[in-house]
Chain A
Amino acid sequence: MDPNATNDKGKDKDKGGDKDKDKDAAGPQGPGKRPDRPKEADAATDVRLDDVPPTGDAAGQTMAPAGLSSPLGQSAPEIPQAPTPDLPAAIDFKEIEQYMNSQGDGFAQANSQYHHLTITVSKLRANSKMFLNMREDQWAMWTAGSRRGMRGVAIEATKDPVLYLSSFLVNAREMYLQTYADSTEMQIFLYVHTPQTSLRGRVDLPPGASVTLESRSDRSSLIGLSSFSIEF
């Protein structure tokens, strides 16, 4: 595992044994994001992570770099190293699946959350396709949630009399909708199962269409061929 990798993979594998009770801090960015260099903070965290004892995270404190276990703001963080130019290795999806499914319920609840997401697709014209997928380096899966309640995965036509789709597909990593008539608005509700605090992906829309992703705390609206990042 490349310790300089800036993706979430290295970070979360090392957290494997943690009993991190504070769910909100369970992410590389930490609760008090420094607006100037969130990316560098990731790099610094990942670089130093081998030196940080796991208990440093257990109190739910920020991922202060350089092995500091002091709370946020007490000492100036070290200037982080620039990430190496090597791209992170493409993750074999089977690794992600195994990681998600291998945790017992207790651990899964503490570290891998199920975050509800609403995806609203507006003005998707006839005979066109909306394609949305997660970036390949994300440790996440679309799921129907973890509890036995009645909310799972749903696709609805909210403003039209019919769901004008000739086909659609939602699997653990991607989704697409294909229309046969002009659609005013469609909504997809589902859950993201992930230990990350945000999700990155890409969307491919025809002209005139837009898609809005809404989580419990964040919203992102996109058009055309775009990448997105949404916080949970």
Chain B
Amino acid sequence: MHEKTIPVVLLFSNVAANSNLSINLTTPGVKWSLGGGSPDSLGFSYNVIPDIPNQTTSCIKAISFDDDQLTVVTAEAAPASSSFTLTLALTTDGTDYLQGYCSLNNDAIVYGYFGAERPVQWRNGRISAVLNGTMNQFCPVLMSVNGANAGARVEIGLSIPDGEGAVAWTLGPDYDNSMGLSLYSNTGSIGLSQMNYTANRIVLQTASSSSSSQNTAIGLVAFVTWKTERPRYIYLSLFSDSGVSVNAQVGNTQPQYISPTTTLFTL
């Protein structure tokens, strides 16, 4: 029995108040789990990943999961429509798909990101997902850039400890459903005048007379690859105008803010 654990991100939106929502898996051999991984892994979390919707109030009364069912109970006092993000893990015995059903209000949508694939869209009713092969030579990095005002320059450098081989920014694995390099904004237009993506650094330059709001958060998904053996750590560093902060999540580890000096992330 070859067990595999896939990190999952579930983005819930338009969730109603005072409801019992659930996502049920019916495929044998596939179950929700806390996952293992290193002590700094994301595990089962709520609103921890870098590009969460910008809110502090919660709509939740209780969350629980067991092998087959993930249940969210929303509070009576919650707003009529809410959004939040959960992370979880899926443990499979090698099965490369899952089927099940969702019990949600009709307006609600759940975006499910399995590994680093483009998301599935689940609504009330029957659901499924295809679980692609593991990425052996790639690791996704999700970054959220904040405070990049008009005319700001943000540079994110990548390196590894001496003697551990070579790493590079890349477009990601070559199967169809991979997320690839993604640049997005949850709140408005991005307003970039330039983006430069090379093996060692990613450079973003915002437009100097941009009409977008000053506090737009820019989301970026990039991939890191390596030549020979998987390194234990990578180093990211941030060179930017003052006021810019970048929160980065490498693979399935808890996010960290990137410092102007080398910041260590486990792979």
Contacts and interface: CB of A to CB of B under 8 A. Distances in A.
A190 B44 CA distance: 12
Contacts of B37: 97, 171-172
Nearest to A98: B36
Given A148-B67, A165-B58, A171-B44, A101 B3 contact: yes
B32 A144 contact: yes
A155 B45 contact: no
A162 B75 contact: yes
B77 A165 contact: no
A161 interface: yes
Interface string A128-158: 0000010000000111110011111111110
B66 A152 contact: yes
Contacts of B180: none
Contact of B36 (A141, A166, A189): A141
B66 A162 contact: no
Contacts of A156: 61-64
A93 B40 CA distance: 10
Contacts of B57: 162, 180
Contacts, number: 121
A162 B42 contact: no
B46 A144 contact: no
Q: Which of B40, B42, B62, B64 has the most CB of A within 10 A?
A: B64
Contact of B64 (A94, A154, A166): A154
Interface string B6-28: 00000000000000000000000
A174 B45 CA distance: 11
Contacts of B135: none
A172 B32 CA distance: 14
- Bin chain B's interface residue count: 35 or more
B3 A144 contact: no
Interface in A159-174: 161-174
Q: Which of A133, A161, A163, A174 has the most CB of B within 10 A?
A: A163
B64 A152 contact: yes
Nearest to A187: B62
Given A145-B66, A169-B43, A157 B61 contact: yes
A180 B55 CA distance: 10
Contacts of A157: 60-62, 75
Contact of A167 (B38, B47, B76): B47
A162 B60 contact: yes
B59 A162 contact: yes
Contacts of A133: 39
Contact of A144 (B40, B45, B58, B65): B65
B64 A163 contact: no
A154 B62 contact: yes
A33 B179 CA distance: 56
Contacts of B48: 167-169
Contacts of A166: 47, 56, 58
Interface of A: 93-94, 97, 100-101, 133, 141-145, 148-157, 161-174, 180, 189-190
Given A156-B64, A162-B59, A171-B43, 12 more contacts: A97-B36, A141-B36, A148-B67, A152-B66, A154-B65, A156-B62, A157-B60, A162-B77, A163-B63, A171-B37, A171-B44, A173-B39
